[in-house]
């Protein structure tokens, strides 16, 4: 069939009717968004000459993706979560909000309610024989003043690239903690070096990426939410330097400001001092929060988050 079978005016009229634009009832914002998306979709179908089979293949794909709870994975894989970050970055820049630690995507694997402790925590349950990782730093405001009582909510994968809760073989809240900074704004934790995540074999996400000629791997990383009253919530990650996928992240989350130096400590005295009997890794990373501001869109995102049983 030839493309462009339907006039743009006809498409506009159909979308307006389907989105209820002619009535006063319903939610105006939903109507506005649905109308626009319908117009764009019908124009795409018409201009790309999308066949009935192609269309229904797409619907079957999305139906299965929903059943398997994969939209949270498809969104970053199709760069949309990073795109939302870029928009927020630009809105902040225009509002004159600068100087904070770079944000990057939350991803789909956060769960709420991790154990809370003061100043320090151990994240791993001791069952994963990965390289021991000590990470520490300070949370400060943009003037350099330490922020005490900030919450560092940290989560990461194990040496298989899997996250507790989503991986039923791990204990509840393994590699997930909330740490309250001390009087000097400091936090510190012991954990294990994570491995990069890979989209599940046979998943809808993997099928889509394959069809694009892409892979579904992320470099090793550690996620953070940093919160403090009076400051903007920061959602970010650090990436582990040297990872093969450092600049080839399927989720587009890597930012050059978020790749700290990883010290590999092999000196006997330091190993002893750390209470260990083998070499370990150390990362120092400070977070800078900007002040809460009315001029910029909020950084608090209301997303559905599971909680461990």
**Under rule CB under 5 A, residue 107 binds Fe ion:** yes
Between 190 and 218, CB nearer to ligand MBD = 218
222 bridge partner residues: 156, 238
Residues of this chain that interact with ligand MBD (CB under 6 A) are: 73, 76, 105, 107-109, 197, 218, 251, 253
Closer CB to Fe ion, residue 224 or residue 287? 224
108 binds Fe ion (CB under 5 A): no
Stretch that binds Fe ion, among 48-56, 72-80, 106-114, 281-289 (CB under 5 A): 106-114
11/135 with CB nearer ligand MBD: 135
Q: How many CB atoms lie within 10 A of CB 108?
A: 20
**Minimal CA–CA distance to 104: which of 242, 219, 188, 228?**
219
Stretch near Fe ion under the rule CB under 5 A, chosen from 15-23, 99-107, 177-185, 297-305: 99-107
Q: Which partner in ligand MBD, Fe ion, none is near 253 (CB below 5 to 8 A by kind)?
A: ligand MBD
CB of 91 to ligand MBD, least distance (A): 21
DSSP string for residues in 191-239: EE-----BPPTT-HHHHHHHHTT---B---EEEEEEE-TTB--EEEEEE
CB atoms within 10 A of CB 166: 14
Nearer to ligand MBD, 228 or 235 (CB): 235
Q: Which residues bind Fe ion (CB under 5 A)?
A: 107
């Amino acid at each position: 069939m030839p493309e462009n079978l339907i006039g743009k005016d006809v498409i506009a009229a159909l979308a307006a009717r389907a989105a209820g634009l002619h009535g006063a009832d319903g939610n105006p914002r939903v109507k506005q968004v649905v109308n626009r998306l319908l117009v764009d979709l019908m124009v795409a179908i018409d201009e790309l000459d999308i066949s009935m089979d192609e269309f229904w293949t797409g619907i079957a794909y999305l139906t299965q993706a929903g059943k398997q709870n994969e939209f949270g994975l498809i969104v970053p894989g199709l760069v949309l979560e990073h795109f939302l970050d870029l928009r927020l970055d630009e809105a902040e820049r225009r509002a004159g909000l600068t100087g904070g630690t770079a944000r990057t995507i939350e991803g789909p694997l956060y769960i709420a309610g991790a154990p809370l402790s003061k100043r320090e925590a151990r994240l791993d349950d001791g069952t994963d024989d990965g390289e021991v990782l000590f990470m520490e730093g300070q949370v400060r405001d943009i003037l350099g003043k330490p922020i005490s009582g900030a919450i560092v909510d940290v989560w990461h994968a194990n040496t298989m690239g899997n996250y507790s809760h989503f991986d039923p073989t791990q204990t509840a809240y393994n590699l997930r903690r909330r740490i309250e900074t001390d009087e000097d704004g400091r936090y510190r934790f012991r954990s294990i070096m994570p491995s990069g995540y890979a989209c599940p074999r046979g998943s809808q996400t993997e099928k889509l990426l394959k069809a694009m000629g892409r892979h579904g791997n992320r470099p090793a990383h550690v996620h953070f939410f940093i919160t403090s009253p009076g400051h903007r919530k920061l959602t970010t990650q650090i990436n582990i330097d040297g990872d093969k996928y450092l600049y080839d992240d399927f989720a587009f989350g890597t930012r050059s400001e978020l790749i700290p130096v990883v010290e590999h400590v092999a000196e006997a005295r330091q190993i002893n001092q750390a209470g260990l009997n083998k070499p370990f890794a150390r990362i120092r990373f400070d977070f800078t929060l900007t002040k809460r501001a009315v001029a910029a869109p909020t950084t608090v995102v209301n997303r559905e988050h599971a909680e461990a049983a």
